[in-house]
Amino acid sequence: MKTIAPLHIGNLIKSLAIALIILSLAWSTISFLITGDILIIPAVLLLNLVLAVGLGYFYYRWRYHSVLAYNGQGFRLQRGRKLTIGQWADFYQVSLVHLGYGNLAVRLYKVEGDNTLDIPTTDLKLDASALRFELMDLVKGTPPPPPPKKPKA
Amino acid sequence: MTIDEYLLRLENNLLTGSARWVADFTESFRHYKIEDTVWDMVVRGHMRGKGLFLSRLFAYLSLPNYQVACFVYTRELGDSDLRRMARHLLGYMKGEELDWCWLVLPREGPFSSRLQVALEKIDYRELGIALVNISSREIFTNPSYVGRRLRDHVKCFR
């Protein structure tokens, strides 16, 4: 299986920033409740920074880290803690989607139900257009779902 | 520049480039079949952008949520085919509740004068059509407002 699992620096920095803000707010609240003032102590700031790196990295792995492994039959997509395993034969159509803020994804349409699955190509540092064409070839043989039956009068 | 390279640039321009000033094009399909026509590219979108906080609120309060699409067809067309395609698209727009559409017809070489005359006579207000000659970088559009706006956004040769 071909596996793609890059470290997305943008998402990692976002996670570190979130952790640092939460820790700083927590320290400010605790020091205000105890002393009636917000204490700024260099050692505590340094400790917050070290803790933020650890917590931020954990949060990044838990929320954002994306891993895609695939071959001619199927794929395994992990986005944070969410794991999806599928076969190309379960999908019949592929599109390129702009999710906003310059983030692109390849969308797969499932044969059964109205479900879609997005492969976050920007997070995986992949060429969205090239992956789209590659996946179009892989799902080519799958027939589209039959049109919905009209309800009886 | 080949047709495939032009399609990639046009797709990029629609999804993330200058066309976002006109509409929020979000999803692009290649080789998309509608009835008996296979379109080289169909890009769907809407006019109400998302944004963050204030821009989202502004968009919600001030912009109509028109559903829009851009169709691209690269095969040879005659003047009667163009009129038939325009009527076919208008029918499809009604069925899909699309408010306006762009139709882009790129090719590597000049268009016949009959096709250009036929284009000038197509004046549906909800349909913009552009003939794009990739070799000479010439663009002809139909006279509707939607068509005139299309000119700036299909000009993605570099």
Helical pair A9-35 and A42-63, crossing angle rounded to 10 deg: 140
Residue A149 covered by a domain? no
Q: Per the domain annotation, does A143 fall within a domain? A: no
Q: Which of A97, A107, A129 sits opposite B8 (nearest CB)?
A: A129
Domain count, chain A: 2
A chain contacts of residue B26, beta-carbon cutoff 8 Å: 97-98
Amino acid at the residue B88? H
Domain boundary among A63, A87, A105: A63
Q: Which residues contact B152 (CB under 8 A, 6 or more apart)?
A: B18
Q: What is the pLDDT along chain A (153 residues), one digit of tens a residue?
A: 889 999 999 999 999 999 999 999 999 999 999 988 888 888 989 999 999 999 999 999 999 999 999 998 999 999 999 999 999 999 999 999 999 888 999 999 998 877 899 999 999 999 999 999 999 999 887 666 665 565 554
Instruction: Tell me how crowded residue A57 is: count the other CB atoms within 10 A of its CB.
Output: 16
| A58 and A13 in a common domain | yes
Could A93 and B15 be called an inter-chain contact, meaning their C-beta atoms sit closer than 8 Å? no
Give the DSSP letter of residue A102: T
pTM, two decimals, is 0.85
Please give the pLDDT value at position A149: 60
Encoded tokens for A76: 């395994």
- The answer to whether B68 and B128 have CB atoms below 8 angstroms apart is no
* Best mutation target, A91, A94, A98, A103, to test chain B (most B CBs within 10 A): A98
B86-89: long-range contacts, CB 8 A cutoff, minimum separation 24? B86/B122, B86/B124, B86/B127, B86/B129, B88/B35, B88/B37, B89/B127
In a shared domain, residues A54 and A111: no
Chain B contact present for A117, CB below 8 A? no
Q: Are A5 and A120 in contact (CB under 8 A)?
A: no
Domain-located, residue A104: yes
A150 belongs to a structural domain: no
Cβ-based neighbours of B158, under 8 Å, separated by 6 or more: none
Minimum-distance CB partner of A97 among B8, B27, B50: B27
Count of CB atoms situated within 10 Å of the CB of B8: 15
Question: How do the domains of chain B map onto residue ranges?
Answer: 3-153
* Weakly modelled stretches of chain B, pLDDT under 70: none
The amino acid occupying position B114 is R
- A98 and chain B in contact, CB less than 8 A: yes
Give the distance from residue B59's alpha carbon to the nearest chain A alpha carbon, in angstroms. Answer: 15
The answer on A34 and A11 residing in a single domain is: yes
Please indicate, yes or no, whether residues A36 and A94 belong to a single structural domain of this protein: no
Both A111 and A59 in one domain: the answer is: no
Domain containing A112 equals: 72-138
Tell me: do A23 and A81 sit in the same domain. no
* Residues on chain B bordering chain A, Cβ-to-Cβ distance under 8 angstroms: 8, 11, 15-16, 25-31, 50
Residue A147 counted as domain residue: no
- CB contacts, 8 Å: A96 with chain B: 11, 15, 27-28
Say if residue A76 is in the same domain as residue A125. yes
A100 touches chain B (CB under 8 A): yes
Partner-chain residue, chosen from A93, A98, A132, that has the shortest CB–CB distance to B26: A98
- Chain B contact present for A107, CB below 8 A: yes
Q: Can you give the pLDDT at residue A146?
A: 62
Q: For position A74, what pLDDT does the model report? A: 92
pLDDT at A153: 47
- A115 occurs within a structural domain: yes
Q: Which chain B residue lies closest to A99 (C-alpha atoms)?
A: B26
Judged by a CB distance cut-off of 8 A, whether residue A129 touches chain B is yes
Domain with A80 in it: what CATH number? 2.30.29
Asked if residue A126 and residue A99 are part of one domain, the reply reads yes
